[in-house]
Structure 1
Amino acid sequence: MSTPPRASMRSLVRSFVVLVAVSVALQLASLMAVREIGRRTEQSRLLLSASDATRDLLDRYASTTYLAVVGLSTSDWELLLRQRKLAKEFEEQLSKNFAALRQGGKAHIGGAEVSLVSEDDPATKERLAATDSLWAEVRTSAVRVLRSDNQSLRNNPDIERFQTASQRLTEALVTLDADIRQRAEPDLRWLGQAQRALPVGTVALMLLLGAFVYRRILLPFDASMKDLARSEGALRVARDELECRVEERTAELSAANAALVAERERLAHANQALEAQREELHRANAELERQEQALRRSNEELERRVEERTAELREAQQRSLELARQAGMTEIASNVLHNVGNVLNNLNTASAMLAERLRALRVDPILKAAEMLEAQKPDLAGFFSKDERGRRLPEYFGKLGQNLTAERGELLSLVGALEGHVAHIRAVVDFQQSYATVTNLDEPVDLAVVLEDALRMAVPSGGRGGVVIDRALSSLPRALCDKHKVLQIVLNLLGNAKWALGEREGENKRLAVRLARPAEDRVRIQIIDNGVGIDSALLTKIFQHGFTTRKGGHGFGLHASALVARAMGGTLVAESEGPGLGATFTLEFPFRSAEA
């Protein structure tokens, strides 16, 4: 038997090692490609999950913000605080999710946190920047809704802007989902093709290795065996040929059988994966149907609760108007009692001075002089001519008469003051009786006269404690309105102005009353003082029910006045440059001429 040269063996081994190395390198490259495509697919899936979770958080944020506005409009502070807290939590989660989508980081998905990497696709980056700006607009409009003076749930431009911004952001997220899915489709196709190509490539490499072994090893070995067989005899050659053919056929059959088994296993795995995907799709469809039914029930329940809450709000508004009327009558009665109390104080002072003067009258000297004359009655002529006391007695009586005349004048002046105070009390009571009739009907009213009456009731003596009253009452035609409502609002505003001026230290306290007609169909009444002023953060809170900065205040006057002004179709607003700089309250309502 002949032996192959050493160089041929080395070449054979080298070729075999190169082929194995190439096969391993191709397999590693395929695995790395599959891993990279899988990583990109997983990142796309995480982005889609984060976008869906962000859209769900946005819906919940919008719902909690709307419920907070409902609590604010109904003065349900517990609901307001709870929904504000929830809205704050959703806002923080949304901000974190948008930041993670834009530049990578932690994001909330289904109650858990996942890590996202920064996106490198320019189009996706541009859409993420657009969603970030829309999120800033949604946050700004939500803050404006919660700080708005307009607490109406319908026809509220701030709520409409908030809903519009939320809808635009939701649409932007949906568009981002579509872009991510569209971009992930090629990766998914490549991943599927690579996963299908790996078994085929493995089988091909195995066949290639088999062919190499067969051509470079088995064939030379077969040739040497044939040479050996030819040297041993024809029979051995024939038998070797038969065995060789049997081995070749067996190898071919084994390779074909192995390929068939591998193909059958691949088809079985593919069928199992397809069946699993089909079941997963069925479960997802069922879950979507359940969520749709739950959402429909939630919407119906929310609509029912909104209708019930609207009816409650209407009823509460009617009760507030009735309470405002009662509070107005109570305020007027309180002002009258206050004015009568001031006059009674003056009356008490005058009566005390009269009693003191009566007690100080010099009556004892007259009695003593009368006793002296009674004792000298037998000889009055001698008493007046000879006695020094008798000679001085006429001069004493003259001076005593002058003193008594002066005392009588002062006493008469005090009595006149008492009569004046009593007449003032009667005038205040008669004046209040002219406003005692309760009515809800409009009547011709001279607004300047109503303001003068309010000043007489609120500041009866034309200003006390150094307060200077400045009137600027334009001459207007008689207006058709409810004078009791106007009087109620003005008395509340004058009472607050008096308190603000009383709390202010120093002199130069001024109270201004303005009446003007800024437009043909509007009338404006302003109460201006230079008292303690109002902080800018409280300019809207002072009209809320129960809110007050006065010691002993009940926090209902300004709230009731605002409700009455709204019932008249008007507005009541407060302005102030800050603490210590005074305040201006402006009442505006529609002007209807009584003549027209």
Structure 2
Amino acid sequence: MRDFEHDPSLAELLDPKAISQLSTLLSSLADSELQLESSAGSGPATPVELNLDTIGWITGDNPEPRRRAAASLVEVVLHYVYKYRLAANLHRSTTEASFQALERQNEALRQSETRYRELAESLQDRVDSQVEVIRQAQQELYESARLRAVGYLAAGVAHEINNPIGFIKSNLKVANEYVDELEEALPEQHTCQDTLADFRALLEESLAGSTRIASIVADLKAFSSIDQGEYVSCNINQLLTTAMHLVQTSHPDAPEMTTTLSDLPDIPGHAARLSQALFNVLDNAAKAVEDGGTIAVQTRHTNADTIRIEVTDTGCGIDAQSLDHIFDPFFTTRQVGSGTGLGLTVARETITAHQGSIDITSDPGQGTRVVIELPAKRK
């Protein structure tokens, strides 16, 4: 993904599949053929603008108001895609800079360790101890900054989306009432009765869609725990459910998930970090079953007074050599650019900080099982 130092084109913001899907949705909403194109062509066309520049056209033999409304909707979508790309680029640059800084620090530490070893072997244990303290502090600072960024982003999304969604839902309800009044005013056999019925169905679908958007925003807000302090009483089943909703909405083909959630006691913990760890595990499982498969999520309260979470997928699995490095920072089996390789590292550090454990078993072609155990009471 490139850095947008100049205005992007339509092809840079959306791939051909996304453009095709968006055109299909616009046609469904307009009840007539509409296409999102990079060029105007020879027929009727309405420009789509981003940052005051025309980057695409809405084409089709439709009235200009319909094409303009479709163009406005596409502009809103492209605006948020553009903002997301910029945020992703910023995150990538920050991650790369942090990685380079860590490499330089690790190199300096290795040289320091060599000098200490030459001076006295007895000092080696003390040097290793200090190195570990520094590493943990760096990891905690990185995670703290990342969680704050997620919280600010979620707050911004909630603020930007909730208000217009509220207006939309209110207007749709009023429109439904107008349809009721029109239906009562018309004779039973009037030719417009069928049109009113179709219009009512469109209003109900739109109202259901706006309610779904509001639900997604609420899940995002709960996931980032904007309104919660550092350590609170956490309901693991609730955090899991929210993380599963986010995973399903973040993947084009929502993976099939089955759940067996037992009654669990609330545990003390950092809700945002636990949510992030659970999301990372579920997101890895979802990526493993992209070519087909299911994900099973199970929780139970063990006799040892621990909370046991099992996430099992029937995906591609992990080979033994990669499994040995699965928790290493920046290690990934995905293609370059598909991930930072920090997901399971962050998950392990978070679970360890909560005095728990995480274990992964896998066979290539057979799937993967992740077992997380957390103490019901913090020691």
Structure 2 CA distance for partners of 1:418 and 1:479, relative to 1, 3 Å: same
The higher radius of gyration belongs to 1
Please show how residues 55-70 of structure 1 align to structure 2 within 5 Å.
none
Aligned residue number for residue 587 of structure 1 = 372
Please show how residues 322-337 of structure 1 align to structure 2 within 5 Å.
322-328=141-147
Aligned residue number for residue 136 of structure 2 = 317
Deviation at 1:338, TM superposition (A): 11
Q: Which has the higher strand share?
A: 2
Cα distance in 1 for residues equivalent to 2:317 and 2:149: 26
Cα distance in 1 for residues equivalent to 2:344 and 2:327: 5
Please show how residues 365-384 of structure 1 align to structure 2 within 5 Å.
none
Deviation at 1:532, TM superposition (A): 1.3
Cα distance in 1 for residues equivalent to 2:258 and 2:252: 14
Contact 1:529 1:583 in 2 (8 A): yes
Structure 2 CA distance for partners of 1:521 and 1:554, relative to 1, 3 Å: same
Q: 2:269 matched to 1:519?
A: no
- Which letter maps to 1:592? K
Deviation at 1:530, TM superposition (A): 0.8
Q: 2:323 matched to 1:539?
A: yes
Cα distance in 2 for residues equivalent to 1:489 and 1:332: 15
Structure 2 CA distance for partners of 1:327 and 1:530, relative to 1, 3 Å: farther
Cα distance in 1 for residues equivalent to 2:347 and 2:151: 13
- Which letter maps to 1:482? H
TM-score normalised to the size of structure 2? 0.54
Aligned residue number for residue 283 of structure 1 = none
Q: 2:241 matched to 1:449?
A: no
Structure 2 CA distance for partners of 1:546 and 1:77, relative to 1, 3 Å: farther
Q: 2:344 matched to 1:558?
A: yes
Cα distance in 2 for residues equivalent to 1:550 and 1:464: 18
Q: 2:211 matched to 1:427?
A: no
Deviation at 1:421, TM superposition (A): 2.0
Cα distance in 2 for residues equivalent to 1:535 and 1:329: 35
Structure 2 CA distance for partners of 1:298 and 1:311, relative to 1, 3 Å: closer
Aligned residue number for residue 490 of structure 1 = 278
- Which letter maps to 1:570? G
Aligned residue number for residue 244 of structure 1 = none
Cα distance in 2 for residues equivalent to 1:543 and 1:495: 15
Give per-residue Cα distances to partners, 1:399-420, cap 9 Å, x unaligned: 9943x33233223322322222
Contact 1:473 1:514 in 2 (8 A): yes
- Which letter maps to 2:345? H
Cα distance in 2 for residues equivalent to 1:338 and 1:531: 33
Contact 1:321 1:564 in 2 (8 A): no
TM-score normalised to the size of structure 1? 0.36
Contact 1:520 1:591 in 2 (8 A): no
Question: Please, which runs of 5 or more residues in structure 1 have no aligned partner?
Answer: 1-73, 84-296, 348-397
Aligned residue number for residue 203 of structure 2 = 415
Structure 2 CA distance for partners of 1:336 and 1:458, relative to 1, 3 Å: farther
Aligned residue number for residue 227 of structure 2 = 437
Cα distance in 2 for residues equivalent to 1:428 and 1:575: 32
Deviation at 1:335, TM superposition (A): 9.3
Cα distance in 2 for residues equivalent to 1:332 and 1:474: 29
Cα distance in 1 for residues equivalent to 2:341 and 2:298: 25
Cα distance in 2 for residues equivalent to 1:583 and 1:336: 34
Please show how residues 224-239 of structure 1 align to structure 2 within 5 Å.
none
Deviation at 1:320, TM superposition (A): 0.5
Deviation at 1:555, TM superposition (A): 0.7
- Which letter maps to 1:591? A
- Which letter maps to 2:278? V
SS at match of 2:264: coil
Aligned residue number for residue 570 of structure 1 = 356
Deviation at 1:482, TM superposition (A): 2.6
Deviation at 1:481, TM superposition (A): 2.7
Cα distance in 2 for residues equivalent to 1:542 and 1:410: 53
- Which letter maps to 1:484? A
SS at match of 2:131: helix
SS at match of 1:542: coil
Cα distance in 1 for residues equivalent to 2:257 and 2:329: 30
- Which letter maps to 2:131? E
Aligned residue number for residue 79 of structure 2 = none
Please show how residues 144-543 of structure 1 align to structure 2 within 5 Å.
300-304=119-123, 306-328=125-147, 401-402=190-191, 404-434=192-222, 435-437=225-227, 439-441=229-231, 443-460=232-249, 465=253, 467-502=255-290, 504-505=291-292, 509-543=293-327
Contact 1:329 1:488 in 2 (8 A): no
Give per-residue Cα distances to partners, 1:488-511, cap 9 Å, x unaligned: 111111111111111x24xxx211
Give per-residue Cα distances to partners, 1:294-349, cap 9 Å, x unaligned: xxx9664444465344323212211102323444566788899999xxx9xxx9xx
Contact 1:517 1:523 in 2 (8 A): yes
Cα distance in 1 for residues equivalent to 2:366 and 2:317: 5
Deviation at 1:475, TM superposition (A): 0.9
Structure 2 CA distance for partners of 1:458 and 1:326, relative to 1, 3 Å: farther
Deviation at 1:567, TM superposition (A): 1.1
Aligned residue number for residue 49 of structure 1 = none
Cα distance in 2 for residues equivalent to 1:451 and 1:569: 19
Give per-residue Cα distances to partners, 1:565-596, cap 9 Å, x unaligned: 11111122211122x21111111122219xxx
Equivalent pairs, count? 248
